A and B are shown apart, each in its own frame.
Chain A
Amino acid sequence: MSISETYGRYRRALGEEPLAVVVLLVALWMAWTLATGLMTGGIQVSSLASQVWDGLLRGLIIGLAGIGLSMTYSILNFANFAHGDYLTSGAFAGFATSYLIAGFGESSIGSLLLLGAGTSVTGAVIGVGVTTSPLAVIGGAVVAGAGTIALALAIDRFVYRPIRDESGIVLLITSIGVAFALRYLIQFVFGARTIGTTLAGSVPQVEVVELLNNQLIEYTARETAVIQGTFRVTAHDITLIAVAGGLMLGVHLLLQRTKLGKAMRAMSDNEDLARITGIPTERVVRTTWILGAGLTGVAGYMFVLWKGTLGFNDGWLLLLLVFAAVILGGIGSIYGAIGGGIVIGLTASVSVIWIPASFSRAAAFVVMIVILLFKPEGIFSGRTTA
């Protein structure tokens, strides 16, 4: 093959798939930056590992919250913008409970329930943490789930159900209103401060001292860079993985193995056919809210337990990433929500290797757009709720 032929082929490729070529070039540049960074010690293997770990955990939270969003979308046919504030509500309800259990007797019940508003009570002072007060954490997680379920059912009963036959747009705009109402109600009660919720210092951590990096440094003979990188795994990391993994497995089994779960899949597939086979649609709708809201409430609680701070905007800020994950995975699919959540979480965390940290959210959306350009129906297309 002559040079001109080869050249012509690449020219054609560039003409036909300009996007693919750009993506390939960016990927090559990223791989090069990463490889040289690791070789020269500019990027520590330990910090890379920490970023991947952080992204994975964040992705599990996004995925868990995404399941709820995806379920309500596929069964109720509307995108619930109040979903993020369900998450916040769950976190506040859960932590009010945790404060009450962990700090009982140390402060007044009122100030504990208000998460220490106007007092010096903080999560660290009363020792909220999975090892210091496991009961408070279990109780908090349960109340976070149950409280969010109660909230979602009440909102469905009084807001969404009366307009269920309206178009998806009406429901969507209504849900934005619900989102604002919830968020500022929370701000009104608990204040706009960022609350330190957990006893971060006392959470046991396993420090994985990193060997690989030192070997690489030796290999490249850069004695000046003495980096003792460590990679920490905390008890809250493990709790998060166990809870999120367990709930995801539970949802999977419910949808695949139980009659109710199959009925939910049937209804998301074809509502009219579900009705003529005798599936009670209102009950399925209620179950969908219960499951979706329960998962979201627990996701909110675990998110706050893991990151250690709580603010009234947390869920709203996470919602865009949750939407990105759900769309990326293929809206309506719970596996898509999980997969999409992990991709989005990893992207947001690991992107700081290449770009400033303040652009990490933007990076998540860029990855979403790029993937959708190649696979418009989402990663897990063809698998709805199931």
Chain B
Amino acid sequence: MSLLEVRGLDAGYGDLQILTDVEIDVDDEEYVTIVGPNGAGKSTVMKSVFGLTTHMGGTIAFDDEDISGTKPESVIHKGMGYVPQSSNVFGELSVVENLEMGAYILDDIPEDALREVYDRFPILKERTDQKAGTMSGGQRQMLAMGRALMLDPDLLLLDEPSAGLAPDLVDEMFDKIDEINGTGTAILMVEQNAKEALRRCDRGYVLSNGQNRFMDEGAALLNDEEVRREFLGG
């Protein structure tokens, strides 16, 4: 049994179906990416796992438990963290308040987790009282990841973590993700920067038009003629 098992998922928004029969697996401690063209439904997969879309069929199981149709506010209790693509911090709240919200479901702020987040992202410690909305894109992305790590999740969903970052920060961000994965957190990541993502991950899925197209180890997908031609720009 995998940690996350998406089987035959049909999902969308209201009456509009985006995903058809999507299958995704993530094993314990595995690093999986989803790549594909714009509008392929990559982000919709992530949102569906967190109950933010209209569920139309199929199952989503996490840790052997069917969580299809679970409300977003309950999914976090299962041991999953989610960093959405945009507006992923509370802009009106300070850095430390954002992190506190990451651990909202606990009675007390987990001091150990807070210290770990600060160690991982030292910039957040320097700016504890700064309003999140006034930080740069890269800092906000780190804060969003820090917030999602406050509960030490078994699986972290990352939607386009490199989007909008300055080129020199992109590598740093991918290094951070490697580190997080290195400490035992499984990763499911959607990335626009497909080549870099596939180079770094264990396994990759190629999605197109809301359907699975390819699935293999990252390196294998990078070398696949068809994948290169169709999705990686040659």
Interface residues in chain A, defined as those with a beta carbon under 8 Å from any beta carbon in chain B: 259, 262-263, 265-266, 268-270, 272-281, 383-386
Of A268, A278, A383, which contacts B73 at CB under 8 A?
A278
Residues of B close to A281: CB separation below 8 A:
73
* Interface of A: prevailing SS: helix
- Counted as pairs of residues, one from A and one from B, with CB atoms less than 8 Å apart, the total is 67
A262-B100, A276-B76, A277-B101 known; 8 new pairs, CB 8 Å cut-off, are A265-B93, A269-B90, A272-B52, A272-B84, A273-B88, A278-B104, A278-B105, A386-B92
Residues of B close to A268: CB separation below 8 A:
92
1/0 per residue, CB under 8 A from A, across B210-223: the answer is 00000000000000
User: Contacts A262-B100, A263-B104; is A276 near B93 (CB within 8 Å)?
Assistant: no
Report A91 CB to chain B, min CB distance, Å.
33
Residues of B close to A262: CB separation below 8 A:
93, 97, 100-101
B90 touches A265 (CB 8 A): yes
Report B100 CB to chain A, min CB distance, Å.
6
B76 touches A277 (CB 8 A): yes
Residue of A nearest to B98 (CB): A266
A276 touches B72 (CB 8 A): yes
User: Contacts A270-B90, A386-B92; is A279 near B104 (CB within 8 Å)?
Assistant: yes
Of B82, B89, B91, which contacts A276 at CB under 8 A?
B82
B50 touches A277 (CB 8 A): no
Residue of A nearest to B83 (CB): A276
B87 close to chain A: CB less than 8 A: yes
Of A263, A266, A276, A386, which contacts B84 at CB under 8 A?
A276
B232 close to chain A: CB less than 8 A: no
Give the CA-CA distance A274 to B84 in the complex, in Å. Answer: 12
Give the CA-CA distance A360 to B76 in the complex, in Å. Answer: 54
Give the CA-CA distance A352 to B102 in the complex, in Å. Answer: 52
Report B136 CB to chain A, min CB distance, Å.
18
Give the CA-CA distance A263 to B92 in the complex, in Å. Answer: 12
Of B73, B75, B91, B105, which contacts A269 at CB under 8 A?
B91
A259 touches B104 (CB 8 A): yes
Most central of B50, B72, B82, B105 by chain A CB within 10 Å: B72
User: Contacts A262-B93, A278-B76, A280-B73; is A273 near B104 (CB within 8 Å)?
Assistant: no
User: Contacts A276-B52, A276-B82; is A269 near B93 (CB within 8 Å)?
Assistant: yes
A-B contact pairs, 28 of them (CB 8 A): A259-B100, A263-B101, A263-B104, A265-B90, A265-B93, A265-B97, A266-B93, A266-B97, A269-B90, A269-B91, A269-B92, A269-B93, A270-B90, A272-B52, A273-B88, A273-B89, A274-B90, A275-B71, A275-B72, A275-B73, A276-B52, A276-B72, A276-B73, A277-B104, A277-B147, A278-B77, A279-B73, A281-B73
Give the CA-CA distance A280 to B75 in the complex, in Å. Answer: 12
Most central of B71, B88, B90 by chain A CB within 10 Å: B90
Report A266 CB to chain B, min CB distance, Å.
5
Number of interface residues of B (CB under 8 A): 25
Residue of B nearest to A333 (CB): B92
Report A261 CB to chain B, min CB distance, Å.
10
User: Contacts A278-B104, A278-B105; is A272 near B93 (CB within 8 Å)?
Assistant: no
* 3 tightest A-B CB contacts, nearest first: A275-B72, A278-B76, A278-B105
Residues of A close to B92: CB separation below 8 A:
265, 268-269, 383-386
Report B18 CB to chain A, min CB distance, Å.
17
Most central of A263, A274, A276 by chain B CB within 10 Å: A276
Residues of A close to B74: CB separation below 8 A:
278
Of A273, A275, A280, A383, which contacts B90 at CB under 8 A?
A273
Residues of A close to B71: CB separation below 8 A:
275
Residues of A close to B90: CB separation below 8 A:
265-266, 269-270, 273-274
A270 touches B102 (CB 8 A): no
Of B76, B87, B100, which contacts A270 at CB under 8 A?
B87
Report A167 CB to chain B, min CB distance, Å.
14
Residues of A close to B77: CB separation below 8 A:
278
Give the CA-CA distance A275 to B105 in the complex, in Å. Answer: 11
Residues of B close to A276: CB separation below 8 A:
50, 52, 72-73, 75-76, 82, 84
Residues of A close to B104: CB separation below 8 A:
259, 263, 277-279
Residues of A close to B93: CB separation below 8 A:
262, 265-266, 269, 386
Residues of A close to B97: CB separation below 8 A:
262, 265-266
Give the CA-CA distance A276 to B148 in the complex, in Å. Answer: 10
1/0 per residue, CB under 8 A from A, across B88-119: the answer is 11111100010011101100000000000000
Give the CA-CA distance A270 to B93 in the complex, in Å. Answer: 11
Report B146 CB to chain A, min CB distance, Å.
12
Most central of A265, A268, A273, A277 by chain B CB within 10 Å: A277
Residues of A close to B72: CB separation below 8 A:
272, 275-276
Residues of A close to B102: CB separation below 8 A:
277
Residue of A nearest to B151 (CB): A278
Residue of B nearest to A383 (CB): B92
Give the CA-CA distance A278 to B73 in the complex, in Å. Answer: 4
Report B68 CB to chain A, min CB distance, Å.
16
Residue of A nearest to B147 (CB): A277
User: Contacts A276-B72, A276-B82; is A266 near B101 (CB within 8 Å)?
Assistant: yes
Give the CA-CA distance A65 to B125 in the complex, in Å. Answer: 38
Residues of B close to A259: CB separation below 8 A:
100, 104
Give the CA-CA distance A275 to B161 in the complex, in Å. Answer: 20
Residues of A close to B89: CB separation below 8 A:
273
Residues of B close to A263: CB separation below 8 A:
101, 104
Give the CA-CA distance A384 to B74 in the complex, in Å. Answer: 26
Interface residues of B in 36-65 (CB under 8 A from A): 50, 52
Give the CA-CA distance A273 to B105 in the complex, in Å. Answer: 14
Give the CA-CA distance A114 to B73 in the complex, in Å. Answer: 46
